[in-house]
Amino acid sequence: MKLNPERAAFVAVDIQNDFCPGGALAVSGGDQIVPLINSLARRFQTAVASQDWHPAGHVSFASSHPGKHPYDSDDATGRALTLWPDHCVQGTPGAELHPLLDEGPYRLIVRKGFRHGLDSYSVFFENDGKTPTGLEGYLRGLSIDTVVLAGLALDYCVFFSALDASALGFSVVVVRDATRAVDVPEGNADRVVADMISRGIAVISIKELA
């Protein structure tokens, strides 16, 4: 797949300590994609990284809901249907970008999920589907028309970022081998890949990206 380097942006989603082995919400093999992420970011004139950036007591934490446990469902509307262990709390080591992530190529870091009562999977919108993160406007200002996504986790933040980018009119590419999935419930990763493909989102390997 060939992209116009002036019109394509790379977005590295949530390459943070808490999503890597040893973290509070570790994704299996999450640290293994860091070298691929570094390689991808260097190929683009425009590269953006995102961070989950939650306050203590965030609505997405199971600990904020008496009687609930991690991975339970809550009664919230929109996308906030799963409760998680406390993770990526603002200012903690778990919220920091992975130490082996080369931050040099990134022109912007988007912090999301910092509102106490609103979670954010997507790098474009909070989970109410209407509160923007500001990333769309940033990319439009650079005349970007293609968004290339990788990172953590495939079946949550990468997936919803891809859906929103597509709905906003961007061409969207997901680099599958530069992601890892939570896969909760089991089979979720395969389901979201099929969903993205059905919507015209390209799901490719890093070798296919010229």
pLDDT, position 81: 66
Check residue 135 and give its pLDDT.
98
Containing H/E element for 174? strand 171-180
pLDDT of 74 reads 72
Peptide bond into 153 cis (omega under 30): yes
Structure tokens belonging to residue 25: 């919400």
Percent of the chain with pLDDT over 90: 91
- pLDDT for 61-105, tens place per residue? 999 999 999 988 876 545 556 899 999 999 999 999 999 999 999
Task: Return the pLDDT at 184.
Answer: 80
Tokens 């990468």 correspond to 158
- The domains found in the chain, sorted by start residue, are 8-56+85-208 (3.40.50.850)
pLDDT in tens, 145-180: 999 999 999 999 999 999 999 999 999 999 999 999
Q: In this predicted structure, what is the pLDDT of residue 210?
A: 75
To the query of whether residue 14 is one of the catalytic residues in this protein, the response is yes
Distance CA 150, CA 10 (A): 8
Q: Would you state the pLDDT for residue 181?
A: 97
Active site residue 112: yes
Tokens standing for 40? 């991808």
Catalytic residue among 18, 20, 86, 157: 157
| Annotated catalytic residue 88 | no
What is the per-residue pLDDT for 120? Answer: 93
| Residue of 52, 112, 119, 155 marked catalytic | 112
Q: Mean pLDDT for the chain? A: 95
Which stretch of DSSP H or E encloses residue 13? strand 8-13
Q: For residue 14, count other CB atoms closer than 10 A to its CB.
A: 29
Task: Indicate the pTM of the whole model.
Answer: 0.95
pLDDT of residue 82: 82
The amino acid that residue 172 corresponds to is V
Looking at the DSSP bridge assignments, the partners of residue 171 are: 146
Select which of 14, 52, 119, 155 is catalytic.
Answer: 14
CB 178 within 8 A of CB 150: yes
Task: Kindly state the helix (H) or strand (E) to which residue 165 belongs, with its residue range.
Answer: helix 159-167
Instruction: Name which of 67, 65, 107, 60 is nearest 86 in CA terms.
Output: 60
pLDDT digits (tens, 9 = 90+) for 189-202: 999 999 999 999 99
